[in-house]
Amino acid sequence: MEKFINAAPVRRHSVIRSYAIRILSLVIFVFLWYETVDSNVLWPLQFGNLPSPVDVFEAWLGYLTQTHYYKDIGISTIRVTTGIVLGLVTAVPLGLWIGLSRFAKDALFTNLEVFRPIPLIAYLPVAMLLFHTIEGSIIFITFIGAFFPILINVKDAAGRVPTSLLQAASCLGCGPIRALWRVYLPAMLPEISTGLSVGVAASWMGVITGEMMSGQSGIGYSTWQAYHLLDYKQSIIGMFTIGALGYASSALVRLTERRIVRWK
């Protein structure tokens, strides 16, 4: 009985403890970073080459007031968004078709399966050849990143829509074409959302890669360019910025999912 009486305080205590440890671990990480740079540690890894966290933080605070920082973020974000939208618009109908039609599966899926395992970065040479502009090739990469995860999820989900739902719709006067929009799509929303989460992460990877390799603007480009210009602080800032952007995108997808898929 005593255990239960003390349960609430114990739980609160362990939550505080948990957060304390988390903050402490971050502090220790920054401290180690500072120390290894300050003491010019070069073995086993060349920590001494890194800029100090203090410098990085200072520079970052500086960037927050400069428009070019936000411009870079904006450009990359627009590229990713374009790629994702294109990915959704093509992968959902295509996935539906491949999932439902034997013919489509045989005709299209084989080809797609050949391309699916190719890492995004490997598309770059072909993308550069195919597209008129560098911008086009970068957006193509982000599109590919989003396309395949969404396609696979939709294809699988199409076959899993319960037959009774389709039959019920039929008995309520819903024709097979209308059912695609009225039954299949809503029923597949959770899976589309899962595909989207993965696709968003892949798209970000694609855009950064594209920008680093051949771009002339964007946060990936700046991060890479900074390295060449020996501005290592900016490289690190860029790195963390990209991470934050990726995290924010995933959070956004999760938020939309929770809003739209309230019913699950």
Using CB under 8 A, list all residues that contact other proteins.
162, 164-165, 167-174, 178, 182-183, 186-187, 189, 261-264
> Minimum CB separation from other proteins for residue 257, in Å?
13
> Minimum CB separation from other proteins for residue 164, in Å?
4
Nearer to other proteins, 44 or 173 (CB): 173
Closest of 251, 243, 155, 153 to residue 193, by C-alpha = 153
Nearer to other proteins, 129 or 171 (CB): 171
What does residue 162 show for φ and ψ, rounded to 5 degrees?
-60, 135
Nearer to other proteins, 193 or 234 (CB): 193
Nearer to other proteins, 167 or 256 (CB): 167
Q: Hey, is 83 helix, strand or coil? A: helix
Burial 92-103 (b: 16+ CB within 10 A, else e): bebbbbbbbeee
Do the beta carbons of residue 124 and residue 166 sit within 8 Å? no
Cα 95 to Cα 150, 151, 195: the distances in Å are: 8, 5, 11
> Minimum CB separation from other proteins for residue 103, in Å?
20
> Minimum CB separation from other proteins for residue 186, in Å?
4
